[in-house]
Amino acid sequence: MDILLGVLITSFIIHAFLIVPFVNFLYNLKFFKNHTAVAEEKTDEASVHIRSKARTPEGGGLLILVVTSFIFAFTLPLLRRLGFEITHVYPINDEINIIFFTFVSFGLLGLYDDIIKFFELDRQEGYTGLKTSYKFLIQGVLGLIIGAMMFINLGIDIIHIPFFGVIHFGLWFIPTSAFLIVAFANAVNITDGMDGLASGLLMISLFGFLILSTSILDTPLSIFIALWLGGLIAFLYFNVFPARLFMGDVGALAFGATFAMVGLLTGKVVALMIVGLPFLVDGFSSLLQILWVKFFHRRIFPIAPLHYLLLKIGWSEPKIVQRAWLVGIMLVIFGIWLSII
């Protein structure tokens, strides 16, 4: 644990040193939305909130993605050279490849979407970014590839269910893992709509999985989570209310997919669902709204996702975020408890 804490602190210092010039770079690049999907005539609190964030740069996730990946590539060889014992549950090279592939592939997809959206490169689609159907198709393919890599290269086909034991999914593990990866990628992306909401919840959740990965003596995964956490904490300093920086799709998609992958690697899918429940609830509220409008031609909520609904009924943004963090803390405690009984 002392090594992991040192790795986390080192990652935080490096990210903290780089993030200020990176924020200034994004402001100079004008890497923010020039428009929003909310009409100017709408004056309710949620609509005003959405428009007020339009000139805040996004893309903070790119810094974490690049720096964390770069440090991770050198940390394990350095620890080996210094004589530290590296324990692992799976073939180490295959595990590292899966971590990198998930983190980078979903990050590149999000970055492509951000670039199209912010620079309005697709004139026919306006500022909406990559077409939703294409985005889901690519995410599904990436999710299936990751699931297949875990099943074939690592031999994972189990999910631990508290009180029932281990369940073998066989080949069904591949589509199941793909579904979870895509679900969390989009749920985190949807939740990233308020200052510090997604990043704070993710930070809290990852501390839980850092404990779980340490308990199964998976050094590569623990090192990666610690490095990721260091970057998130540095980012959160600029993402809390009032935010100077958002993570963007490049961060939200990469972080959500990788978060699900971490849960799958530990075999603690139930813990993943519990710890990640705030993301799932917020994402499901948005999905339910879309499906209700599609099939019943009316809204089930005045506005979605849930965090905007709470804003509309009178909760302030800091109150929503801070209470979500408190819920997240208790869910992490509950999820860890279920995983170790």
Query: Which amino acid is residue 315, in one-letter code?
Result: W
Q: Is 189 annotated as a binding residue?
A: yes
| pLDDT of 127 | 46
What digits encode the pLDDT tens for the residues 189-216?
999 989 999 999 999 999 999 999 988 8
Q: Averaged over 236-256, what is the pLDDT?
A: 93
Rounded CA separation 145/52 (Å): 39
User: Average pLDDT, stretch 40-67?
Assistant: 76
Q: Which two tokens stand for residue 315?
A: 């909760």
pTM above 0.85, yes or no: yes
Amino acid at 181: I
Which comes out higher in pLDDT, residue 327 or 89?
Answer: 327
Structural domain boundaries in the chain: 2-340
**Rounded CA separation 261/266 (Å):** 9
**Other CB atoms within 10 A of residue 73 CB:** 11
Name the DSSP class of 217: T
Terminal-to-terminal C-alpha distance of the chain: 22
With bands split at pLDDT 50, 70 and 90, how would you rate the model's confidence at 125? very low
pLDDT above 60 (res 61): yes
pLDDT at position 122, please?
A: 61
pLDDT of residue 56: 81
